[in-house]
C-alpha cells in the first residue's frame, strides 16, 4: 500500500475516519457524480453500480501510482432502497418502515487505477426491535439524521437501544466494509506490484 | 430511570462510555471481588455467574433508590474461556487460537436493588479470518491488549482487518449489551415504580 497514492473519494467524515484505521496515508478527492442507475437494476446491485460510476469519473485524472477508492451505501428493505430522508416526516416514516424488521445495509466499493478496476459489495443484515413512535421522534428530533441513508446511524442512540442483532461486518453499516476492503486493497496493490 | 440512582460497578472506561449512551446519569462505584466460579459451571454460564457475584458484594450497601449494574465479559471458544493474557506470548497464543474460527463473546449483567435482582446474559458470535503471525505480532506489539479478555478489542486494528462477520449485538463485544440492557433496565425501573 505504501507504494501507492491512495485516494478516498468521499465527503463523509465517517468514511475518512474508518479508512484511517486500516490505511496509514491517503488523500481525499471528490467529484460530483449524478447518482443515477438503471430502473431495471436489481436493488442489491445498486451500491456496486454507483461505486463504479463514481470511480469512472476519475478515469481521465489518474496518475500511474494512484488508486482511488469510491463507495456507495444503500439501505435495502425488501425491494425498496431507502436513501437520505427528505425531511423530518420522511425520516420518521423510514425508521417506522425499518422498525421490527430485518433490513440489509449494502456498501459497494470500487478500487480503480489506470491499469485495473475492481468492484465488490458487502452486505450486513440489521435487525431492529419494534420501536415506539416516541423513541423514533426522540431520535429524529435530537439527532437529525438527514444525511444518513435509511435515516439512522448505528453508532447513535437509536442504534444502541434499537438494534437487537446484526449479521456481517459492523463497519460496513457505519460506512465502509473495512475487513473486506483491507483484504481486497492489499491484493490489488500486490497484483499491481507483480505486473 | 430518572427516579433511581444508577450505579455502574465497573473500572472499564469503555463500559462507562457505552452506558453513557443509554443512561443520562449514573455514578461509578466498584468493589473488589475475587472472580471465582465453580469448576462444574458450564462455560457459557460463567459470565452471568460472575456478574451476580459482583452484584452480591453490594447487598449491604444499597439504599432504597439505588440500582447497581454489574457485568462480566467472557470470550469462549469451544469449552475454553479466554481471559486477559498473562504476557505478550500468551496474547499471541490466544489470538492464534481465535484465528480462522468462530468464538462467542458472552456478557453477563446483573441489575440489583434492595427489592429485586435480575441476571441475564447476551451472546455475540465473532468470526475471525485466518490471521498471519505477522498480523498478530504487529497488533500485540502496537496495541498491547493485556487488559482485554481474549487479547483483542473489536474497535482496534485487529478487529477492523480481521473480523469477517459478527452475529449479535456489536456493543456486547465492546463491553455491554446495550440494546438488551436498555430494555431490561427500563422494565426493572418500571416494575419498581409499580410495586
Residues in A lying within 8 Å of B, measured between beta carbons: 18, 21-22, 129, 154, 157, 160-171, 178-180, 182-183
Cβ-defined contact of B178 to A171 (cutoff 8 Å): no
Half-sphere exposure for A5 (CA within 13 Å, toward CB): 11
Contact criterion met (CB < 8 Å) for A157 and B21: yes
Predicted pLDDT at A195: 78
- What is the number of structural domains in chain A? 1
pLDDT higher than threshold 90 for residue A47:
yes
B164 CB neighbours in chain A (<8 A) are: 169, 179-180
Residue B66, exposed/middle/buried by CB under 10 A (0-12, 13-18, 19+)?
middle
What stretches of A78-151 adopt beta strand conformation (E)? 80-82, 102-112, 117-128
- Ranges of H-type helices in B57-87: none
- Segment A9-35 shows an average pLDDT of 96
CA nearest A69: which of A188, A174, A173, A193? Answer: A188
Crossing angle of helices B133-143 and B88-98, in 10° steps, is 130
CATH code for the domain of B21? 3.90.950.10
Average pLDDT over all residues of chain A: 96
Beta bridge partners, A49, equal none
Asked if A179 and B163 come within 8 Å (Cβ–Cβ), the reply is yes
Which positions in chain A touch B154 (Cβ < 8 Å)?
A: 170
Nearest to B62 by CA among B23, B20, B107, B111: B111
CB contact under 8 A, A179 and B164: yes
Contact between chains at A22 and B163 (C-beta distance less than 8 A): no
Is B171–A160 a contact, with Cβ atoms under 8 angstroms apart?
Answer: yes
Which three cell numbers mark A6? 491512495
Residue A171 has pLDDT above 90, yes or no: yes
Strands A27-28 and A163-168: unpaired
What's the pLDDT tens digit per position in A110-154? 999 999 999 999 999 999 999 999 999 999 999 999 999 999 999
Q: Check residue B2 and give its pLDDT.
A: 83
Q: Smallest CA–CA separation between A183 and chain B, in Å? A: 8
Q: Spell out the per-residue pLDDT of chain B, length 195, in tens.
A: 888 999 999 999 999 999 999 999 999 999 999 999 999 999 999 999 999 999 999 999 999 999 999 999 999 999 999 999 999 999 999 999 999 999 999 999 999 999 999 999 999 999 999 999 999 999 999 999 999 999 999 999 999 999 999 999 999 999 999 999 999 999 999 999 987
List CB contacts (< 8 A) between B182 and chain A.
160-161
Distances (CA, A) of B174 to A56, A183, B12, B46: 38, 23, 11, 18
Cell of B194: 409499580
Cβ burial of A87 (10 Å; 0-12, 13-18, 19+) is: exposed
Tell me which residue range forms the domain holding B46.
5-194
pLDDT score at A148: 94
Q: Which three cell numbers stand for residue B45?
A: 454460564
| Residues B126, A183: Cα–Cα separation, whole Å | 18
What is the rounded CA–CA span in Å between residue B21 and residue A153? 13
Whether the CB-CB separation of A71 and A111 falls below 8 Å is answered with: no
Cα separation, B183 vs A128, whole angstroms: 13
Q: Which residues pair with B76 in a beta bridge?
A: B81, B104
Q: Chain A: nearest CA to B60, how far in angstroms?
A: 31
DSSP structural state of residue B130: -
What is this model's ipTM? 0.94
Please give the positions of B annotated as active site. 72
What H or E segment, with its residue span, contains residue B124? strand B117-128
> pTM of the prediction?
0.95
Identify the closest residue of chain A to B124 by CA–CA distance: A165
Rg (C-alpha) for chain A, rounded Å, is 17
pLDDT, one tens digit per residue, over A176-190 is: 999 999 999 999 999
Q: What pLDDT, on a 0 to 100 scale, did the predictor assign at position A18?
A: 98
Chain B: which residues have CB within 8 Å of chain A? 18, 21-22, 129, 154, 157, 160-171, 178-180, 182-183
User: Which of B21, B166, B182 is facing A166, going by the closest CB pair?
Assistant: B166
Residue B95's alpha-carbon distances to A21, A168, B146, B181, in angstroms, are 20, 20, 12, 28
Q: What is the DSSP letter of B84?
A: S
Amino acid at each position: 500500500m505504501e507504494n501507492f497514492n491512495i485516494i478516498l473519494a468521499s465527503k463523509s467524515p465517517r468514511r475518512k475516519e474508518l479508512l484511517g484505521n486500516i490505511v496509514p496515508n491517503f488523500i481525499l478527492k471528490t467529484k460530483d457524480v449524478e447518482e443515477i442507475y438503471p430502473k431495471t437494476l436489481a436493488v442489491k446491485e445498486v451500491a456496486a453500480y454507483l461505486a463504479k460510476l463514481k470511480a469512472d469519473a476519475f478515469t481521465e485524472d489518474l496518475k500511474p501510482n494512484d488508486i482511488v477508492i469510491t463507495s456507495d451505501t444503500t439501505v435495502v428493505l425488501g425491494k425498496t432502497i431507502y436513501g437520505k430522508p427528505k425531511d423530518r416526516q420522511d425520516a420518521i416514516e423510514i425508521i417506522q418502515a425499518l422498525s421490527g424488521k430485518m433490513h440489509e445495509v449494502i456498501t459497494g466499493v470500487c478500487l480503480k487505477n489506470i491499469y485495473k478496476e475492481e468492484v465488490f459489495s458487502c452486505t450486513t443484515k440489521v435487525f431492529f426491535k419494534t420501536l415506539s413512535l416516541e423513541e423514533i421522534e426522540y431520535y429524529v428530533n435530537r439527532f437529525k439524521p438527514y444525511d444518513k441513508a435509511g435515516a439512522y446511524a448505528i453508532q447513535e442512540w437509536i442504534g444502541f437501544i434499537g438494534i437487537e442483532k446484526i449479521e456481517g461486518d459492523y463497519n460496513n453499516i457505519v460506512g465502509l466494509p473495512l475487513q473486506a476492503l483491507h483484504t481486497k486493497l492489499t491484493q490489488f496493490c500486490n497484483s499491481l506490484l507483480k505486473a
